[in-house]
């Protein structure tokens, strides 16, 4: 499933997105993607749709939305922070250090100047 998550992240990095519209996939801002992207997405539509309704993606989207809308942050910042929040702690990192890292990231976002 992480390959599909990487695909969705890559699509979003271009300023586009893949969303479920009813039972069909829809590409938002398709023109921002490379010409071959739409065919690749269509070829993998079933697994992309399964990922979009998965608990993993729903948790990510929910956390990103909270940071974006409640925190007033740009979507890009919200997604980056949500990736850390939904990621499993690296094996070689102490629990306290991981907690400190996440808390520090959150504080930096909270204290960042708001976009006008």
Q: Helix or strand or coil: residue 90? A: coil
Check residue 88 and give its pLDDT: 82
**Torsion sign across C-alpha atoms 67, 44, 54, 30:** positive
With bands split at pLDDT 50, 70 and 90, how would you rate the model's confidence at 115? low
pLDDT of amino acid 15 = 84
Tokens of 100: 């400190």
pLDDT at site 99: 93
Check residue 116 and give its pLDDT.
44
Mapping DSSP to helix (H, G, I), strand (E, B) and coil, where does residue 17 land? strand
Q: Does residue 66 lie within any of the structural domains?
A: yes
User: Is the domain of 39 the same as that of 81?
Assistant: no
Give the chain's end-to-end CA distance (angstroms, integer): 37
- Burial of 75 per CB tally in 10 Å (0-12, 13-18, 19+): middle
Identify whether residues 15 and 49 lie together within a single domain: yes
Report which of 61, 21, 18 is spatially closest to residue 42, judged by C-alpha positions: 18
pLDDT tens-place string over residues 65-109:
888 888 888 888 888 888 888 888 889 999 999 999 999 988 888
Name the burial class of residue 85, with classes exposed (0-12), middle (13-18) and buried (19+) by CB atoms within 10 angstroms of its CB: middle
| Domain assignment present for 116 | no
Residue-averaged pLDDT of the chain:
85
Counting the structural domains of the chain, the total is 2
């Amino acid at each position: 499933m992480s390959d599909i998550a990487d695909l969705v992240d890559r699509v979003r990095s271009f300023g586009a997105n893949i969303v479920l519209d009813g039972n069909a996939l829809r590409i938002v801002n398709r023109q921002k993607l490379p010409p071959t992207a739409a065919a690749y997405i269509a070829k993998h539509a079933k697994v992309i749709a399964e990922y979009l309704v998965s608990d993993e993606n729903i948790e990510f989207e929910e956390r990103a939305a909270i940071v974006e809308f409640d925190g007033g942050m740009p979507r890009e910042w919200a997604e980056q922070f949500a990736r850390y929040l939904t990621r499993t702690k690296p094996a070689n990192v102490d629990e306290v250090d991981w907690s400190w890292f996440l808390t520090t990231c959150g504080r930096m976002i909270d204290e960042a100047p708001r976009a006008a």
